[in-house]
């Protein structure tokens, strides 16, 4: 559970943006594991102040008594390795390697369009924006078939893959992408399943709860 008012806290401190899908994935992992941590929300104008923790000045960043980490994939794996409850990576080496390979593919092939639209929209021309929207829309439609035979992403167990995908799916309407029942019924059911998890609700900031409240109502039980 996040707590921003812990002056003498000696556990995890997470520096996070108040509305970013990569930061959200880390908050989701912490919520799924029921870990108490100090949450410090950082505005865009203050990110440069983090250079002592992260020389790249990016979010999320994590500090605990043992280490300082940056890049969400490294942070997420560290949390899962250190806190063994509610494991999100498989303990079996081959299965864990497969999960990490899928994460790499998700970020290489799919999230590059999300980064353009959600993190750097001002750098896109109108033509490039339309192209990125279409590419991401096609990815989402093609994704749907992967949810037809299991409750979660390629598994019947909630995993690290869901922690990466779900925060992005929440943000699709903000980039003009809708999930239609005609083309993506399985994905809609997946969103309903994940968005209604207690951990997902707990992982959201007040900004996210306000911004996506209408979209979340669509998936309410």
For the stretch 136-189, pLDDT in tens is: 888 888 878 888 889 999 999 999 999 999 999 999 888 888 887 776 888 999
Q: What is the pLDDT of residue 221?
A: 63
The answer to whether 170 and 195 have CB atoms below 8 angstroms apart is yes
Q: What is the pLDDT of residue 7?
A: 59
Give the CA distances from residue 76 to residues 58, 142, 171, 212, in Å, rounded to whole numbers and listed in that order.
15, 26, 20, 24
Q: Is the pLDDT of residue 5 over 60?
A: no
Q: What is the pLDDT of residue 182?
A: 73
Whole-number mean pLDDT of the chain? Answer: 89
Backbone torsion region of residue 176, taken as left when φ is above 0, otherwise alpha when ψ lies between -120 and 50, otherwise beta: left
Q: pLDDT (tens digit, 9 = 90+) per residue, 103-143? A: 998 888 878 888 888 877 777 788 888 888 888 888 888 87
Q: pLDDT (tens digit, 9 = 90+) per residue, 15-52? A: 999 999 999 999 999 999 999 999 999 987 777 678 88
Q: Does the bond joining 52 to the residue before it have cis omega, within 30 degrees of 0? A: no
Q: Is the pLDDT of residue 6 over 60?
A: no
Q: Is the pLDDT of residue 86 over 90?
A: yes
Torsion of CA 134, 140, 144, 150, to 10 degrees: 170
Report residue 8's pLDDT band, with 50, 70 and 90 as the boundaries: low
Q: What is the pLDDT of residue 2?
A: 64
Phi, psi of 80 (to 5 degrees): -70, -35
Q: What is the pLDDT of residue 33?
A: 97
Phi, psi of 91 (to 5 degrees): -80, -20
Please name the residues in contact with 131: beta carbons below 8 A apart, sequence gap of 6 or more: none
Report residue 203's pLDDT band, with 50, 70 and 90 as the boundaries: very high
Cα angle, residue 170 at apex, residues 193 and 75 outer, rounded to 5°: 95
Cα angle, residue 119 at apex, residues 159 and 89 outer, rounded to 5°: 15
Q: Is the pLDDT of residue 4 over 60?
A: no
Phi, psi of 89 (to 5 degrees): -90, 150
Q: What is the pLDDT of residue 63?
A: 95
Q: Which candidate, 85, 70, 72, 82, places its Cα nearest to that of 31?
A: 85
Q: What is the pLDDT of residue 101?
A: 95
Report residue 200's pLDDT band, with 50, 70 and 90 as the boundaries: very high
Give the CA distances from residue 151 to residues 76, 157, 188, 199, in Å, rounded to whole numbers and listed in that order.
22, 7, 12, 16
Burial of 129 (0-12, 13-18, 19+ CB in 10 A): middle
Q: Is the pLDDT of residue 54 over 80?
A: yes
């Amino acid at each position: 559970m996040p707590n921003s008012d812990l002056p003498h806290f000696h556990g995890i401190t997470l520096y996070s943006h108040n509305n970013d899908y990569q930061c959200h994935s880390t908050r989701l992992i912490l919520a799924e594991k029921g870990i108490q941590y100090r949450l410090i929300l950082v505005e865009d104008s203050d990110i440069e102040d983090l250079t002592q923790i992260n020389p790249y000045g990016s979010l999320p960043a994590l500090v605990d008594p043992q280490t300082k980490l940056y890049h969400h994939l490294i942070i997420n794996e560290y949390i899962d390795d250190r806190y063994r409850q509610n494991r999100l990576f498989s303990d079996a080496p081959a299965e864990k390697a497969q999960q990490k390979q899928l994460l790499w593919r998700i970020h290489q092939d799919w999230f590059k369009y999300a980064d353009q639209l959600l993190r750097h929209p001002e750098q896109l021309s109108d033509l490039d924006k339309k192209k990125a929207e279409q590419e991401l829309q096609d990815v989402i439609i093609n994704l749907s078939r992967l949810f037809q035979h299991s409750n979660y992403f390629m598994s019947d167990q909630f995993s690290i893959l869901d922690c990466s995908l779900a925060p992005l799916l929440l943000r699709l309407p903000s980039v003009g992408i809708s999930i239609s029942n005609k083309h993506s019924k399985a994905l809609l059911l997946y969103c309903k399943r994940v968005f209604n998890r207690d951990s997902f609700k707990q992982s959201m900031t007040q900004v996210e709860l306000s911004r996506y409240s209408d979209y979340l109502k669509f998936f309410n039980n």
